[in-house]
Amino acid sequence: MLRDITLGQYYPIDSPVHRLDPRIKILLTMAFIVCVFLVGSPLGYLPIAAYLAWATWMARLPAKMMLRSMRPLRILLIFTFVLNLFFGTGDTELLRLGFIRVTQEGLYNAIHFSLRLIFLVIGSSLLTLTTPPVTLTDGLESLVSPLKVIKFPAHEMAMMMTIALRFIPTLAEEADKIMKAQSARGADFTSGSLKQRAQALIPLLVPLFVSAFRRAGDLAMAMESRCYRGGEGRTRLHVLKTGRKDWLAVASIAVLYAVVLLMARYV
């Protein structure tokens, strides 16, 4: 139930992509996103698609997983396609139905922008599917830590994100349990008018808040009793390391850039 949505997207297997340095992976994903925007025509997405297929294969992810990551966006995707198709500018008319007209440029744009959206989503889910959320925040912390010189609280931000991420599944599990316990007393969360449903949430929300505050208090106590005082001078258990495979990954994206840019110019 609630548990399904909470573990994030992370797909827990071992692969060369899973083992990449998270910092490199974040940067590569950003580079990939930029690269998708450099593509000038639908045909230019071929190398992008090939690259993603290769990365998915390297990450040992089932193609099904990748397609599933598209699901939340299907409405947006349909919108993008339909809007571009029916309300595009241009003169070469292909079809006319009353006030709706489909032009060649419209069709071209519809395909172009939909493909762009698809590849952006798949590219970024490759990051979230192969990196546990906590590792991701570690990587982010390390990437933004140069900003500490201008007093940007990099460590605190990362710690907050880590704790939030850590507690999402816990709280979701708790919510699931409380919901079940109240259903056992005949609470009904799924039917009734909007007002009734909002009221039905009280027996869920009150215990959930009580428990969240209790947990927050316990956690603060546990951290303090282990002498936590912020990031200053704190060493890490898992030190992020950049190795040969990371540079290979960087090289692969450089190749992708070369191909995409060449195609944009000559095809």
Partner 1 sequence: MPITLEKLSHTYQEGSPFQATALHDINLTIQDGELLALIGHTGSGKSTLAQHLNGLLKPTAGRVLLDGQDINQKDADRRALRFRVGLVFQYPEHQLFEETVRKDIGFGPRNMGLSEQEVEQRVHEAMDKTGLVYDEVGEKSPFELSGGQMRRVALAGVLAMKPDILVLDEPTAGLDPRARDFLLSDIARLHREGTTVVMISHSMDDVARLATRVAVLEKGRLVMEGPPGDIFTQVDRLTAMGLDVPQASKLRHELEAEGIVLPPCYLLDDLADHLAHRLKGGAADAT
DSSP annotation string for the chain: -HHHHHS-S------TTTTS-HHHHHHHHHHHHHHHHH--SGGGHHHHHHHHHHHHHHTT--HHHHHHTTGGGHHHHHHHHHHHHHS---S-EEEEETTEEEEHHHHHHHHHHHHHHHHHHHHHHHHHHHS-HHHHHHHHHHHHGGGGGGT--HHHHHHHHHHHHHHHHHHHHHHHHHHHHHHTTT--SSSS-HHHHHHHTHHHHHHHHHHHHHHHHHHHHHHHHTT---STT---SS-----HHHHHHHHHHHHHHHHHHHHHHH-
Query: Which one of 51-59, 138-146, 160-168, 183-191 is the stretch in contact with partner 1 (CB under 8 A)?
Result: 183-191
- If one asks whether residue 72 binds partner 1 (CB under 8 A), the answer comes out as no
- If one asks whether residue 14 binds partner 1 (CB under 8 A), the answer comes out as no
Query: Which one of 8-16, 19-27, 231-239, 256-264 is the stretch in contact with partner 1 (CB under 8 A)?
Result: 8-16
Site string for partner 1, 160-179 (x = CB under 8 A): -----------------xx-
- If one asks whether residue 186 binds partner 1 (CB under 8 A), the answer comes out as yes
Site size for partner 1 (CB under 8 A): 23
- If one asks whether residue 71 binds partner 1 (CB under 8 A), the answer comes out as no
Exactly one of 15, 69, 128, 211 binds partner 1 (CB under 8 A); which one? 211
Q: CA-based angle 55:60:65, to the nearest 5?
A: 90
Exactly one of 210, 219, 220, 264 binds partner 1 (CB under 8 A); which one? 210
Decide whether 6 or 124 has the Cβ nearer to partner 1. 6
- If one asks whether residue 13 binds partner 1 (CB under 8 A), the answer comes out as yes
- If one asks whether residue 180 binds partner 1 (CB under 8 A), the answer comes out as yes
The Cα 12–Cα 14 span in angstroms is 7
- If one asks whether residue 8 binds partner 1 (CB under 8 A), the answer comes out as no
The Cα 39–Cα 119 span in angstroms is 11
Considering the complex, what minimum distance in angstroms separates the CB of residue 3 from partner 1? Answer: 7
Query: Which one of 5-13, 48-56, 100-108, 157-165 is the stretch in contact with partner 1 (CB under 8 A)?
Result: 5-13
- If one asks whether residue 183 binds partner 1 (CB under 8 A), the answer comes out as yes
Considering the complex, what minimum distance in angstroms separates the CB of residue 253 from partner 1? Answer: 27
Binding site for partner 1 (CB under 8 A): 3-4, 7, 11-13, 177-178, 180-188, 202-203, 206-207, 210-211
